[in-house]
Amino acid sequence: MNPTLVKHVLLPVHEGILGRGTLGYLRRLEESQHWSRRRLARLQAAKLRRLLTHAHRNCPFYRERMDAAGFDPTHAGPAGLKRLPLLTKADIRAHIADMCDRSVPGGLHPFNTGGSTGEPLQFFTCRGRQASDQAARARSRRWFGIDLGQREFYLWGSPVELSLQDRARGLRDRLTNHRLVSAFNMTPAAMQAALDEVRRFDPVHIFAYPSSLARLLCFARECGRRIEAPSLRAVFVSGEVFTRADRAVIEEAFAVPVADGYGSREGGFVAHQCPMGSYHVTVESHVVELLDDKGDDVHPGALGEIVLTHLDAFGMPFIRYRTGDMARRGAEHCPCGRPHDVITSIEGRRTDMLRTTSGGLAHGLSVIYVLRDAPGIAEFKVTQAPSLDLDVQIVPRGKLSPPQIEGIARGLRRQLGESLEVRIRVVDRIPPDPSGKHRHVVGPPVP
């Protein structure tokens, strides 16, 4: 399909049918990214007051919270927001009926997410919020010279996308210049077919889970297949922690810019890397807090949990929502000149973080490297108890000797604390989580 036709005719018609103002929103985002930081902060504060006032008026759950805190939504700024309690998934499950405004224009649209922890969550979006998230996504593509309507290849596994009837999906994909290949079905035959599809479709950009795309590219290399995508201009990844190893594989295979985005179905389009590699927070639509265990803002450079308020979610407001994801706050603004706040890195789920005996947090990778580098290990899983002691399951390749096992325990203690008890169990297989995922590291329960 001709990209100009998609951009100027089919997308506007599609948005018009849905009653969604994505293109107008995109125009505003294109302007605000050139504003001063101060002007952008004023927009954010005004939008926050509007959202809080709306939630107080229309959502009994939030009205009760604000009244209990003696909180005046018409005068609140981002700093005052801290007087409101955090919103958890458990709060949403218990109070969803009282959190929504059913009279929102375009109505409420239900969504289900498995979440990366496998905890299912049902929530609602509204058209305004969808437009906001879509527009922020489109703007991030334009940072890399990619316009609406250009051919986009998805290697993705969202159950929502895949539950559409194949024919309806095929038609929509043709009309919008999308191709979707499931990232959940990575058998050798499916990967050969995916590589064929890349060659036939010749995408201008690719959107993928980084680990799935890296796996596909490694598979191609092992088969001696050349990756053919002559029109490709950029690769975008999202949905999981983007490791240096995956980035190296993708950059080497394609030799085009590769950028990571952070967001979720319930949280929206929160932040995206610019061509200089900084994660720019979508300040126009989100208030992002990075909080320590006590609920205080972390210092620049420190790791905190991402707590967010979506400024365009009027149908079902998300105010101070605990994402369970961890990120590091940036100190400076990005040299690219865009005025948004910056996050230096997204470091995964709170539940994938381990604790050290000195009271710090350690990334799960710190122990993954110990086990990955040890010879003779086929699979492993490390679980940290509330006492901080470690339970380690190992599926060996062949037989592990007692000195090898002691060496692993020593390596783990070096990472997390010499006083830790490390229990290593050799097992035949490690069952997946209820969500079906294999997690290498499970942190202690979050306080």
Residues that bind Zn ion (CB under 5 A): 274, 276, 278, 334, 336
Residue 58 or 278 with smaller CB distance to Zn ion: 278
- Report the residue number, 183 or 334, with the smaller CB distance to Zn ion: 334
Q: How far is the CB of 342 from Zn ion (least distance, A)?
A: 7
The whole-angstrom separation of Cα 311 and Cα 319 is: 9
Shortest Cβ 280–Zn ion spacing (Å): 6
Query: Of the candidates 386, 376, 358, which has an alpha carbon nearest to the alpha carbon of residue 443?
Result: 386
Write the DSSP assignment of 55-71 as a string of letters: HHHH-HHHHHHHHHTT-
- Helix (H) or strand (E) run with residue 441 in it: strand 441-442
Between 43 and 336, name the residue whose CB sits nearer to Zn ion: 336
State whether the Cα torsion 370-372-377-379 is positive or negative: positive
Q: Of 286 and 322, which CB lies nearer to Zn ion in the complex structure?
A: 286
Amino acid at 440: H
Name the token pair of 23. 């293109």
Q: Report, in Å, the least distance between residue 340 CB and Zn ion.
A: 8
Report in angstroms how near the CB of residue 226 gets to Zn ion at its nearest.
33
Residue 359: partners with Cβ closer than 8 Å, 6 or more residues away: none
Between 342 and 382, whose beta carbon lies closer to Zn ion?
342
Residue 144 Cβ vs Zn ion, minimum distance, rounded to whole Å = 12
Cα gap 388→422, rounded to integer Å = 10
Smallest distance, Å, CB 273 to Zn ion? 8
Q: How far is the CB of 275 from Zn ion (least distance, A)?
A: 7
Q: Specify whether the CB–CB gap between 258 and 264 falls below 8 A.
A: no
Q: Would you say the C-alpha torsion 324, 72, 287, 297 has a positive or negative sign?
A: negative
For tokens 């995109």, name the residue. 26
Shortest reach from residue 138's CB to Zn ion, in Å: 17
Q: Name residues whose C-beta falls within 8 Å of residue 90's C-beta, 6 or more positions apart in sequence.
A: none
The answer to whether residues 328 and 347 touch, using CB atoms and an 8 Å cutoff, is yes
* Cα 48 to Cα 287: distance, rounded to the nearest angstrom: 8
Nearer Cβ to Zn ion (177/278): 278
- The closest of 85, 75, 78, 84 to 287, measured between CA atoms, is 78
Give me the least distance between CB of 58 and Zn ion, in Å please.
Answer: 36
First to last CA, the chain: 52
Nearby residues of 20 by Cβ (< 8 Å), 6 or more positions away: 106, 127, 128, 130, 131, 134
Residue among 334 and 346 whose Cβ is closer to Zn ion? 334
Q: At 233, phi and psi to the nearest 5?
A: -115, -25
Looking at the Cβ atoms of 274 and 303, the one nearer to Zn ion is 274
Closest CB to Zn ion among residues 278, 323: 278
CB 20 within 8 A of CB 132: no
Name which of 90 and 276 has its Cβ closer to Zn ion: 276
Q: Using CA atoms, how far apart are residues 177 and 248, in angstroms rounded to an integer? A: 28
Quote the least distance from Cβ 337 to Zn ion, whole Å: 7
